[in-house]
Structure 1
Amino acid sequence: MKKITLFFVCLVLYNGKLFAQQLYKMDVPKLVKTAFLKHYPGVIPFWEKEHANYEAAFQQNGKATVICFDANGNILQTEVVIAIAELPPAIMLYLENKFTNYKIKAASRITKADGTVHYEAEVNGQDLIFDTAGNFIKAVKA
C-alpha cells in the first residue's frame, strides 16, 4: 500500500512536467545516489531526470518530498507538498484578487540550496511561485 501511495504522490508532483524522465536506480549517477543516502539513509526514492538534474521523490514525515540534485550530487532545492491552508495569507489574498473561480490544485514549499524559501501554488494549469512574504515571482506552465 505504501508503494501505491508513493507512486500516486509522485504522479501528482510530476503532473505536467513534460521533460521529466523516470529513471531506474542504476541509471542515477553514483555521486547523486551517495549524496541522497548521506542525507536520507535507508530511504528508497522514486527517481526522475529533468533536463540535466536528478530528482528523488519520497515520503518524509508523512509529506511528499522531492530533492533536486545536479549531476555532481549537490542539492539544488527541496520541495515539500504542504496543505493549501499552509500557504501564507498574502498568497491567498493575491489569488483572490487576481483570479475568479480559481481552485488551488496543489501547494508546496520550495527551499533552494542557499536557504531561500518560495511557495508554489498550482492554479489553472500554472505553477505560481511566490516569496515568503507572498509576493508573486513568476508563473510556470504546470
Structure 2
Amino acid sequence: MKNVFLAFTFLCSSYLIAQEGTNMKKVITPPELVRVAFEKEYPGKVPVWSEEYVGDDADEVRFEAKYNVTNSTKAVAIYDNLGNMKAYELQIPFSQLPPKTQAYLKKNYAPKEIREVAMVVDDKKNTTYEIGVIKNTKFYDVVFDKDGDFDVSIEKN
C-alpha cells in the first residue's frame, strides 16, 4: 500500500510540473544578428533568451532578452529576427511614475494589488508605463502614456 501511495504521489506531482511547464517560455539561443545587437547595446549583460510568435497569424518571431540591470532591477529587450530592437521594458520604482499615473493608481488600486511597474519604449521611441495589477484574482496590465494619462487596461491570462 505504501508503494502505491508513493507511485500515486509521484504521478500527480509529475503531472503538475508538466502543466506548469506548458505556461513557461522555452529558453533558446537567438540568431547571431540578434545576439550581436544585444551585446552591442548592453555590453557585459547576461541575458536569458526566449522567443514569442506575434502578428495576426503569429507568423513573426520576437526574441526576448531578460537580464538584470542591477541586483534589484530587471529589464527586457525585444528584437525581431534581424536584430532590430522592437521594445525595451525597464522595471522602475512606483515613485518614478508620472504624478498623474501615481494619483490614478492610488485612487483605483490598493498598494498590495500593484505587482509590477515598468517603463516601456517601443521601436518608434514612444514611451508608455505598464503597471501589472491583480484585481479580483485577475491580472491586468494597466497602460499609461508618456504624460501619465490612462490609456487602456488589458486582462492577461
Q: Sort the TM-score into its range (normalised by shorter chain).
A: 0.7 to 0.9
Q: Is 2:69 aligned against 1:60?
A: yes
After TM superposition, the runs of 4+ consecutive aligned structure 1 residues lying more than 3 A away are 96-102
Equivalent position to 1:43, from 18, 42, 45 = 45
RMSD: 2.2
Equivalent position to 2:28, from 24, 31, 47 = 24
Aligned residues: 123
Q: Which has the higher contact order (CA 8 A, sep 6+)?
A: 1
**Matched residue of 2:34: which SS?**
helix
The 5-angstrom pairing of residues 101-116 of structure 1 reads: 103-116=113-126
Partner of 1:70: 80
Q: TM-score, normalised by structure 1?
A: 0.75
Equivalent position to 1:137, from 151, 154, 157 = 151
Relative to structure 1, the CA distance from residue 114 to residue 137 in structure 2 (aligned partners, 3 Å threshold; closer, same or farther) is: same
| Distance (whole Å) between structure 2 residues aligned to residue 66 and residue 101 of structure 1 | 24
Write out per-residue CA displacement over residues 107-135 of structure 1, whole angstroms, 9 at most, x where no aligned residue. 00111122111101111210111112111
Relative to structure 1, the CA distance from residue 74 to residue 130 in structure 2 (aligned partners, 3 Å threshold; closer, same or farther) is: same
Give the residue type in structure 1 aligned to 2:26: Q
CA contact under 8 A between 2:94 and 2:102: conserved in structure 1? no
Give the residue type in structure 1 aligned to 2:62: N
| Distance (whole Å) between structure 1 residues aligned to residue 112 and residue 65 of structure 2 | 30
Give the residue type in structure 2 aligned to 1:50: E
Relative to structure 1, the CA distance from residue 35 to residue 100 in structure 2 (aligned partners, 3 Å threshold; closer, same or farther) is: closer
Q: Which of the pair has more CA radius of gyration?
A: 2
| Distance (whole Å) between structure 2 residues aligned to residue 101 and residue 115 of structure 1 | 30
Relative to structure 1, the CA distance from residue 100 to residue 45 in structure 2 (aligned partners, 3 Å threshold; closer, same or farther) is: closer
Write out per-residue CA displacement over residues 51-80 of structure 1, whole angstroms, 9 at most, x where no aligned residue. 110100111245211000011110011100
| Distance (whole Å) between structure 1 residues aligned to residue 34 and residue 24 of structure 2 | 17
5+ residue gaps, structure 1: 1-17
